[in-house]
Chains A and B, each alone.
Chain A
Amino acid sequence: MSYLERLPYSDVVSKSKVITSASVNYLITRTPWQPGSAKAYHLRKVIVTTVAGSAVTGLGNTVTFWDQDLSSATPSTRGNASTGALLTINNATANLSGAAQTVVLGYNECPRIRFEAGVTAQATNINTAIMMELEMY
Chain B
Amino acid sequence: MSNLTSLLNKFEFTPLLKPGQIVRVEPLSQFGYFIMPRSAVPEFLPEVQVNMATPFTTSLSAAVETGQQTGISAKITALDVGTLTLAQYRLYALDPYIQFEVYQPATTARFANKNGPIRFDRGNTMYAIQNQQLQLLPEIFVYEDKTPITVKAYNIDLDETKMYAQFGAIGFKYPLAAYNITISPDGQPEDPIALTVKVAERV
**Which chain A residues have a beta carbon within 8 Å of chain B's beta carbons?**
3-4, 6, 8-13, 15, 29-37, 39, 69, 71-72, 74, 136-137
Q: Roughly how many angstroms separate A13 CA and B158 CA in the complex, as a whole number?
A: 13
**Which chain B residues have a beta carbon within 8 Å of chain A's beta carbons?**
63-67, 69, 96-97, 99, 121-124, 126-127, 130, 156-159
Chain A to chain B: the 7 pairs with minimum beta-carbon distance, closest first: A35-B67, A11-B123, A36-B67, A30-B158, A37-B156, A34-B67, A9-B124
Tell whether A15 pairs with B159 under 8 Å between CB atoms, given A34-B65, A35-B66: yes
* Pairwise interchain contact B96-A71, C-beta atoms closer than 8 A: no
* Pairwise interchain contact A9-B158, C-beta atoms closer than 8 A: no
Task: Choose among A13, A34, A74 the residue that contacts B63 (Cβ–Cβ < 8 A).
Answer: A34
Given known contacts A30-B158, A37-B63, what 6 new A-B pairs fall within 8 Å (CB)?
A: A10-B127, A11-B126, A34-B65, A34-B67, A36-B67, A39-B156
Q: Nearest Cβ distance between residue A75 and chain B, in whole angstroms?
A: 9
- Chain A residues within 8 Å of B64, by CB: 34
Q: Roughly how many angstroms separate A137 CA and B69 CA in the complex, as a whole number?
A: 19
Q: Roughly how many angstroms separate A29 CA and B157 CA in the complex, as a whole number?
A: 9
Task: Across the interface, name the chain B residue whose C-beta is closest to A13.
Answer: B96
Chain A contact residues, majority secondary structure: loop
Instruction: Enumerate 24 A-B pairs (CB-CB under 8 Å) in ascending A order.
Output: A8-B127, A9-B123, A9-B124, A11-B121, A11-B123, A15-B159, A30-B158, A30-B159, A31-B158, A32-B157, A33-B158, A34-B64, A34-B65, A34-B156, A34-B158, A35-B66, A36-B69, A36-B156, A37-B63, A37-B99, A37-B156, A136-B96, A136-B123, A137-B123
Q: In this complex, which of B64, B66, B99, B123 has the most chain A Cβ atoms within 10 angstroms of its Cβ?
A: B123
Tell whether A10 pairs with B123 under 8 Å between CB atoms, given A32-B97, A34-B65, A37-B63: yes
* Pairwise interchain contact A71-B127, C-beta atoms closer than 8 A: no
Task: Across the interface, name the chain A residue whose C-beta is closest to B155.
Answer: A32
* Pairwise interchain contact A4-B130, C-beta atoms closer than 8 A: yes
* Pairwise interchain contact B158-A71, C-beta atoms closer than 8 A: yes
Q: In this complex, which of B66, B97, B122, B157 has the most chain A Cβ atoms within 10 angstroms of its Cβ?
A: B157
* Pairwise interchain contact B122-A32, C-beta atoms closer than 8 A: no
Q: Nearest Cβ distance between residue B186 and chain A, in whole angstroms?
A: 46
Q: Nearest Cβ distance between residue A95 and chain B, in whole angstroms?
A: 30
Task: Across the interface, name the chain B residue whose C-beta is closest to A135.
Answer: B123
Q: Nearest Cβ distance between residue A100 and chain B, in whole angstroms?
A: 26
Q: Nearest Cβ distance between residue A61 and chain B, in whole angstroms?
A: 25
* Pairwise interchain contact B156-A72, C-beta atoms closer than 8 A: no
Q: Roughly how many angstroms separate A36 CA and B69 CA in the complex, as a whole number?
A: 10
Tell whether A32 pairs with B156 under 8 Å between CB atoms, given A9-B123, A11-B96: yes
Q: Roughly how many angstroms separate A32 CA and B67 CA in the complex, as a whole number?
A: 9
- Chain B residues within 8 Å of A12, by CB: 96
Q: Roughly how many angstroms separate A16 CA and B14 CA in the complex, as a whole number?
A: 42
Q: Nearest Cβ distance between residue A65 and chain B, in whole angstroms?
A: 16
- Chain B residues within 8 Å of A31, by CB: 158
- Chain A residues within 8 Å of B126, by CB: 11
Task: Across the interface, name the chain B residue whose C-beta is closest to A14.
Answer: B96
Q: Nearest Cβ distance between residue B98 and chain A, in whole angstroms?
A: 10
Q: Nearest Cβ distance between residue A118 and chain B, in whole angstroms?
A: 8
